[in-house]
């Protein structure tokens, strides 16, 4: 079965490196790059996994983090910030990342997800439960909650 995924131009180079070779050798899905389209030729669950990996790389994840999606327990979740005004979107993205990346690090540490803020999206890789908790923390930030409130929510996850 053939499937294609569009990847932002500034991320296509990440796919068109050793990652392509690794996918073809280890997962047995053929990968062809045509401009900013990644064309995949494979079957079944492997094709689904590779589509998610390529999608995750396109959303700003490093290949190492994207390859977490080879584990059937891991999933990719993408929150679209496109509904927010451009000014509000930039503020929200800055708040999710936090000063020197600290808020993003805390969300990752307390929930176990990998988090990427790229373009107009916030993307998460993790198990269903991890994503549920991280998504709630991100939603709190989007809705304007103070960072201290979000941090208390995250700390209670460890209890």
Compute the distance between CA of residue 126 and CA of residue 134 in angstroms, rounded to an integer.
Answer: 9
Compute the distance between CA of residue 33 and CA of residue 13 in angstroms, rounded to an integer.
Answer: 10
* 28 vs 141 pLDDT, higher one: 141
Share of the chain above pLDDT 90, in %: 82
Residue 159 has pLDDT above 90, yes or no: no
DSSP letter at 23 equals I
What's the predicted TM-score (pTM) here?
0.92
> pLDDT averaged over the chain?
93
Residue 56 has pLDDT above 80, yes or no: yes
pLDDT in tens, 121-155: 999 999 999 999 999 999 999 999 999 999 999 99
**Helices first, then strands: H and E counts in the chain:** 8, 6
Q: Is 159 exposed, middle or buried (0-12, 13-18, 19+ CB in 10 A)?
A: exposed
Say what the pLDDT of residue 18 is. Answer: 84
pLDDT in tens, 83-102: 999 999 999 999 999 999 99
Contact of 121 with 79, CB cutoff 8 Å: yes
DSSP letter at 26 equals I
Structure tokens at 128: 């269903």
Compute the distance between CA of residue 37 and CA of residue 90 in angstroms, rounded to an integer.
Answer: 27
Question: Which H/E stretch holds residue 115?
Answer: strand 114-118
Structure tokens at 25: 């050798």
Q: Enumerate domains of the chain plus CATH numbers.
A: 2-69 (3.30.1370.10), 75-157 (3.30.1370.10)
For the packed helices 128-142 and 102-111, what is the interaxial angle rounded to 10 degrees?
150
């Amino acid at each position: 079965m053939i499937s294609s995924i569009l990847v932002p131009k500034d991320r296509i180079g990440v796919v068109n490196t050793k990652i392509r070779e690794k996918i073809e050798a280890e997962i047995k899905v053929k990968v062809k790059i045509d401009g900013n389209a990644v064309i995949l030729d494979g079957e079944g669950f492997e094709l689904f996994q590779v589509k998610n990996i390529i999608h995750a790389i396109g959303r700003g994840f490093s290949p190492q983090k994207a390859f977490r999606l080879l584990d059937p327990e891991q999933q990719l979740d993408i929150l679209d910030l496109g509904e927010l005004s451009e000014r509000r979107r930039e503020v929200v993205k800055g708040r999710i990342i936090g000063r020197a990346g600290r808020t993003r690090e805390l969300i990752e540490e307390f929930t176990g997800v990998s988090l990427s803020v790229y373009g107009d999206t916030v993307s998460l890789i993790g198990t269903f439960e991890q994503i549920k908790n991280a998504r709630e923390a991100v939603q709190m930030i989007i809705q304007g909650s103070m960072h201290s409130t979000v941090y208390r929510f995250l700390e209670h996850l460890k209890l």
